[in-house]
Structure 1
Amino acid sequence: MGLYEILEIESSASSADIKKAYRKLALRYHPDKATEEERHIAETKFKEISHAYEILSDEARREEYDFYGTTDGIHGQSHMYGEPDGNPFENFYGGGGQQYDPRDFYNFFNDMNGANGHRQSAGAKARTEDAEIEVDVTLEDLFKGKIIRTTSTRNIICTLCKGKGAKKNAVPKKCNTCDGEGIVRKIRRVGPGLVTQEYVDCSACEGIGKFYRTKDRCKKCEGKRVIEETKILEFEIVKGSHSGEKIVLSKESDEYPGKETGDVKLTFTTKDHPVFTRKGDDLYAKYKIPLVEALCGFSRVLVKHLDGRGIKVSTPPGKVIRPGDYIKITGEGMPVKNGSSGWFGGSSSKRGDLYIEMEIEFPTDNWYLERNDILKMKNLLPSAIKSKSDMSRQTVDNDSLPEANIEVFTDFTIAKQDALPDYKEDSPTPAPEEEHHNGYNGYNGYSGFDGSAQPECTQQ
């Protein structure tokens, strides 16, 4: 039934005629004027009238309906109920006289929707929406494992009527909107001169294809076919799990007759930890010690682990800790998670490693109390450089200087690594056979300020 037929007017009717017809039919089929038994039919008819008036009262949408049988995103009634009115591409491709039959294009777009035909698309079993939950967890939770419990309220199929929505012996009436099919066809424009179709649940009968009188409805669900259920859901976070992982409880979302039940999915994200940083299955931390302990050794608790244990490290006397060194403790990282859970899955006994980056705090300037302290320190610490090549490179022959031309600098500053200038490497790289020298790079066996290794000069 087309929109003009619903309003009981001709397709040539004026805007005033459409408005007049709508008012007349709206008063006739208003649900408030219907009896209890006929109210459902009146509601369905009233929806049809309102829908038809909504489209035909708008000039642009009416023009599109007259051309396509619908407007983009609005159900055109001539294409909503029953069988299709024919191939919508025939008007644009001229029928069977073309090299390709118009039905080829028609079937092509239906296949894009995942169906071999419109009936198969309409008959595909629907699924209720999945429920998504997001929670924040701590690094301790991922280290030790955690059970998250949450209260869930969902719809389940009515236990009294088993999803029928009515009493046991109630006789249903066929829905006139979808002709008892429970679905309606929607024609949607996908481009200039191109349309496609898709099927949706009938809004009048909520996809059932039939309805019951008010007095025949189920007393427990009041005809809704579902009731609410509250239960406790448990999500197990296995030891060694990673931030951003998802736990899925199958078929724990809302139920509805004729539809597959969706899942409940919980996604957990790890909050930043004040001490540890996780990289893969390894843990990283930082610890600062004074220079004297870096030279003479120490024995102390460096960190409190994620399970509450204190991690104590003792270095032997004479073991020198240098800036940037890491103390690696094997097997004290995160538990290594297996790919599955259950009797033969979950977390294994294997664990990653713990890396503690040692930062050395040097004494402040003028740290000595007496000048004799400097002499004592010089006598205690090695004063010679062990590398002969470094000694050779750094030793300057005074005889090679013209007239012993030596300039003494006492006014200087200490530059930190992160305070060095940012050099843009926009000059072309010299050819291999060319020699390239500047004031900083190219020292024999030393790296440049950017940290890249430089080739050693050949000794002559």
Structure 2
Amino acid sequence: MSGDLYEILGVTSSADSSAIKKAYRRLALQYHPDKVTEHEREEAEIKFKEVSHAYEILIDEEKRNHYDIYGTTDDSNPFPGEQEFHGNPYDNFFGQGGSAEFGANDFANFFNGMNMNGNRKGQQGKPNKTPNAEIDVDVTLEDLYKGKIIKITSTRNIICTHCKGTGAKKNAVAKQCAKCEGKGKATKITRVGPGLVTQTTVDCTTCKGSGKVFSTKSYCKKCKGTMLIEEVKILEFEILKGSMGGESITLKGESDEYPGKETGDVVMTLSCKEHRVFERKEIDLYCDMKIPLVDALCGFSRIVVKHLDGRAIKVTTPKGKVIRPGDYIKIKGEGMPIKSSDSWFSRASKGDLYIKVDIEFPKDNWYLERNDLLKLKNVLPNDLSNSDDIDEISKTRENIELITDFELTNVDNLPTYSNDQEDKHEYNGNYEYEYDYPYNGGGSAQPECAQQ
């Protein structure tokens, strides 16, 4: 069987026999071949055997001890010729019958020169810490714009309030753990290659790192000797205005507790869903709007978009200001809030909103009468700004070739080139900026028009 036995049962390496039995009963019922459909039976049988094998090893104290030390379920010693390791474990490979020029101590000193011992001491100097609890949450762009409080129900292990983490009654007498000889630690040796092993120090699974054990009769009535009890509480995570997708919010010391260890944190990571209207680029917002050709030529006054906080944004363009394909309407201060723990600052400081204008031209043969075309020609200017060469040819009426075979296309059908770059030019306009109802945000935004 492959895989970590603790992971197969879904328990930690410090789990007691009661937790192991509980996990086994649950998984055995789930994967029992008689409890699944015909097409799931083959896969269930494989999983059932894995669960049964893991339970057989971990429920037996001697087999579990062997597995914790050597990382194998084989009852034989994984290193032939030696039953136990004393002193430097590399002596078994290099100490006896090895070269006089390169012995076991030299092999160990080789790694010492690479600061392996120094790193190990540094790690031991740091306080042990329980694992962090990781949570992934989907949020909307509206949540990141307005801010939000997310509440979750947390169930975690805390140190037993009755026995204060001893796992025993008040006057119970503890005995030295025979397995680790009172050290609370065990050595785990793992083969990483031919003639090469690694040695790590782990908590003793019998005394759970305390170095002491109590008889079953002395167990605390509340925690049953586990030293831990469950706590259920409500955790609150504050999403500040202007937060970004991918950011994490950390609540210190809210993970599982364990005696003698620093409590880990609960870390919530935000994942922003795609918005159907707005696209966020850092602190700016982008969106599209369509207008008919007549509005592009004559100006308009209309609600252009519903903002993330529900406000209707109304823009009035000045008469005579022509909006051209590719133009952007830039509204200052209507982008995303700049993230800050100061609520006033996040209200007053924002990015900008860019509205890309898509001009919808009329369909072919839009006119009702031919006279409509004449009226439009009389109204619209028809002089080109750089037509000197064309005018000269028209006057002479020479070298003119009539082309009748052509087709109309648009920008989406043009070929692309490796050096294409997007240029954005801005120009200012005295646009009127209105809201459907009073806006209490900071600053008075004035829209601009940017041409692309």
Deviation, 1:415, is 1.6
Q: Residue 115 of structure 1: SS of its match in structure 2?
A: helix
Q: Where does residue 302 of structure 2 map in the other structure?
A: 300
Decide which of 63, 77, 84 is 1:78's aligned counterpart. Answer: 84
Q: Deviations over 1:155-210 (max 9, x none)?
A: 00000100000011111122221111111112223343332311011122222222
Q: Contact 1:92 / 1:193 at 8 angstroms: preserved in 2? A: no
Q: Residue 333 of structure 1: SS of its match in structure 2?
A: coil
Q: Contact 2:245 / 2:271 at 8 angstroms: preserved in 1? A: yes
For 2:186, the aligned partner's letter is V
What is the aligned-residue RMSD (CA, Å)? 3.6
Change (3 A) 1:188 1:122: farther
Partners of 1:144 and 1:78 in 2: CA distance: 64
For 1:65, the aligned partner's letter is F
Q: Residue 301 of structure 1: SS of its match in structure 2?
A: strand
Percent of aligned pairs with the same amino acid: 54
Q: Deviations over 1:409-457 (max 9, x none)?
A: 33421022222345789xxxxxxxxxxxxxxxxxxxxxxxx6899xxxx
CA radius of gyration, larger in: 1
Partners of 2:125 and 2:141 in 1: CA distance: 47
Partners of 1:242 and 1:452 in 2: CA distance: 26
Q: Where does residue 66 of structure 1 map in the other structure?
A: 80
Deviation, 1:331, is 0.6
Deviation, 1:88, is 5.6
Q: Where does residue 377 of structure 1 map in the other structure?
A: 376
Query: What does 1:187-226 correspond to in 2, within 5 Å?
Result: 187-226=189-228
Change (3 A) 1:299 1:361: same
Q: Deviations over 1:132-172 (max 9, x none)?
A: 11111111111111000110010000001000000111111
Change (3 A) 1:49 1:271: closer
Decide which of 110, 135, 141 is 1:105's aligned counterpart. Answer: 110
Count of residues paired in the alignment: 365
Change (3 A) 1:294 1:54: closer
Matched, 1:391 2:387: yes
Unmatched tracts of structure 2, length 5 or more: 1-56, 424-452
Deviation, 1:239, is 0.6
Q: Deviations over 1:337-385 (max 9, x none)?
A: 13xx3x6997362111111111100111111111111111111111101
Q: Residue 116 of structure 2: SS of its match in structure 1?
A: helix
Q: Residue 293 of structure 1: SS of its match in structure 2?
A: helix
Q: Deviations over 1:107-134 (max 9, x none)?
A: 3577178214xxx766764211110111
Query: What does 1:330-409 correspond to in 2, within 5 Å?
Result: 330-338=332-340, 341=341, 347=346, 349-386=348-385, 390-395=386-391, 397=393, 404=398, 406-409=400-403
For 2:376, the aligned partner's letter is M
Indicate the larger mover: 164-173 or 47-56.
47-56
Matched, 1:91 2:105: no
Q: Where does residue 141 of structure 2 map in the other structure?
A: 139
Q: Where does residue 152 of structure 2 map in the other structure?
A: 150
Change (3 A) 1:293 1:98: same
More relative contact order in 1 or in 2 (CA 8 Å, sep 6+)? 2
Partners of 1:59 and 1:332 in 2: CA distance: 64
For 1:179, the aligned partner's letter is E
Change (3 A) 1:59 1:137: closer
Q: Where does residue 434 of structure 1 map in the other structure?
A: none
Q: Residue 324 of structure 1: SS of its match in structure 2?
A: coil
Q: Residue 112 of structure 2: SS of its match in structure 1?
A: helix
Q: Residue 152 of structure 1: SS of its match in structure 2?
A: strand
TM value normalised by structure 2: 0.71
Q: Contact 2:68 / 2:188 at 8 angstroms: preserved in 1? A: no
Q: Residue 200 of structure 1: SS of its match in structure 2?
A: strand
Partners of 2:73 and 2:165 in 1: CA distance: 43
Q: Where does residue 413 of structure 1 map in the other structure?
A: 407
Change (3 A) 1:207 1:337: same
Q: Deviations over 1:219-239 (max 9, x none)?
A: 010100010000000000001
Query: What does 1:409-448 correspond to in 2, within 5 Å?
Result: 409-421=403-415
Deviation, 1:91, is 3.3
Q: Deviations over 1:288-311 (max 9, x none)?
A: 000000000100111111111111
Deviation, 1:103, is 3.5
Q: Contact 1:110 / 1:196 at 8 angstroms: preserved in 2? A: no
Matched, 1:254 2:256: yes
Q: Where does residue 16 of structure 1 map in the other structure?
A: none
Matched, 1:115 2:120: yes
Unmatched tracts of structure 1, length 5 or more: 1-42, 70-76, 426-449, 454-460
Partners of 1:326 and 1:416 in 2: CA distance: 19
Q: Contact 1:182 / 1:209 at 8 angstroms: preserved in 2? A: yes
Q: Contact 1:244 / 1:269 at 8 angstroms: preserved in 2? A: yes
Query: What does 1:224-239 correspond to in 2, within 5 Å?
Result: 224-239=226-241
Indicate the larger mover: 197-206 or 317-326.
197-206
TM value normalised by structure 1: 0.70
Partners of 2:408 and 2:173 in 1: CA distance: 94
Q: Where does residue 167 of structure 2 map in the other structure?
A: 165
Partners of 1:53 and 1:185 in 2: CA distance: 11
